[in-house]
Amino acid sequence: MVTPEPLTLYTGDGVRIDAGHTSFDGEVCFILAHGFTCSWRQPALRRIAAALGRHGGVIGLDFRGHGRSGGHSTVGDREVLDVAAAVAAARRRGYERIVLTGFSMGGAIVVRYAALHGGVDAVVSVSAPARWYYRGTVPMRRVHWVIERRAGRMAVRLARRTRISSKGWDPVPEAPHEVAGRIAPVPLLVVHGAADPFFPVEHGHQLYEAASDPKELWIEPSFGHAEVAATPDLVNRMAVWATEAVSATPAPLAPDEEPPGREHRD
């Protein structure tokens, strides 16, 4: 497995982001966005990065409040600025095509980034919530306890190195399904597992139905939830879909202004 180049990125609001870059001699770069309490340095994310890396460059990042990144997690709100820093880093390295690939919380974040900021070429959202505040499963009721209770935030900080903001959302950010229609004409792939214990398949359907063409929905019969359940075959199929999607569409115009920030190599 290739050892990524370590990067330290800085967001437009001054948060330090830990990231890793696996280079590729081509025009495509995958921005790998992890789920809640995860890290790009974890084995499951490293396996996904290795599979994606057969098809393009990969920049994996730790969202704010996670792993070695600074700040506090806002659980899907200001993390779009973290994605912006990774996209800018990919552009500086000469990649012409950017594919956002997010899992669970990361899947919601990449949908919101593509809809609100643009400047990318394809979006793959895996096991993502379509709407906020879902408590219909036991795992999600536990997640809400972790986020909303002081004891929960302390426990996840000690156990998973995840620091969650105690301030909550004010205002509440747009939910993924509320903005998914703005992603077009950038291609969107929604992947959801029929065996997902966190978010039932209705979330995948809601996100897909809210989006505009071009779009695809894959309901994977035996797939569970996010990074841990993602097989090399599934990741490879997603990467093939993304590279074919970007090759079939003209490159969109990049945003007029790069988000403020900076980086250095460790």
**Residue 246 structure tokens:** 């970007």
pTM attached to this predicted model: 0.94
The bridge status of strand 57-61 relative to strand 16-22 is antiparallel
Fold entry, domain 5-133+168-248 = Rossmann fold (3.40.50)
Asked if residue 201 lies in contact with residue 149, where contact means CB atoms within 8 angstroms, the answer is no
The bridge status of strand 5-10 relative to strand 263-265 is antiparallel
Give residue-wise pLDDT tens across range 77-135.
999 999 999 999 999 999 999 999 999 999 999 999 999 999 999 999 999 999 999 99
Q: Which of 251, 238, 246 is nearest to 32 (CA)?
A: 238
Give residue-wise pLDDT tens across range 107-122.
999 999 999 999 999 9
Confidence (pLDDT) at 258: 47
| Domain coordinates in residue numbering, the chain | 5-133+168-248
Give the span between the Cα atoms of 83 and 95, in whole angstroms.
15
- In this structure, what is the dihedral angle of CA atoms 127, 215, 172, 38, given to the nearest 10 degrees? 30
| DSSP result, the chain | -PPPEEEEEE-TT--EEEEEEE--SSSEEEEEE--TT--TTSHHHHHHHHHHTTTSEEEEEPPTTBTT--S-B-TTSTHHHHHHHHHHHHHHTT-SEEEEEEETHHHHHHHHHHHHT---SEEEEES--SSSS---SHHHHHHHHHHHSHHHHHHHHHHH-B-B-SS--SSPPPPHHHHGGGSTTS-EEEEEETT-SSS-HHHHHHHHHHS-SSEEEEEETT--SHHHH--HHHHHHHHHHHHHHHHTSPPPPPPSSPPS--EEE-
Confidence (pLDDT) at 263: 64
Confidence (pLDDT) at 64: 98
Q: What is the pLDDT along the chain (266 residues), one digit of tens a residue?
A: 678 999 999 999 999 999 999 999 999 999 999 999 999 999 999 999 999 999 999 999 999 999 999 999 999 999 999 999 999 999 999 999 999 999 999 999 999 999 999 999 999 999 999 999 999 999 999 999 999 999 999 999 999 999 999 999 999 999 999 999 999 999 999 999 999 999 999 999 999 999 999 999 999 999 999 999 999 999 999 999 999 999 887 665 555 444 445 665 43
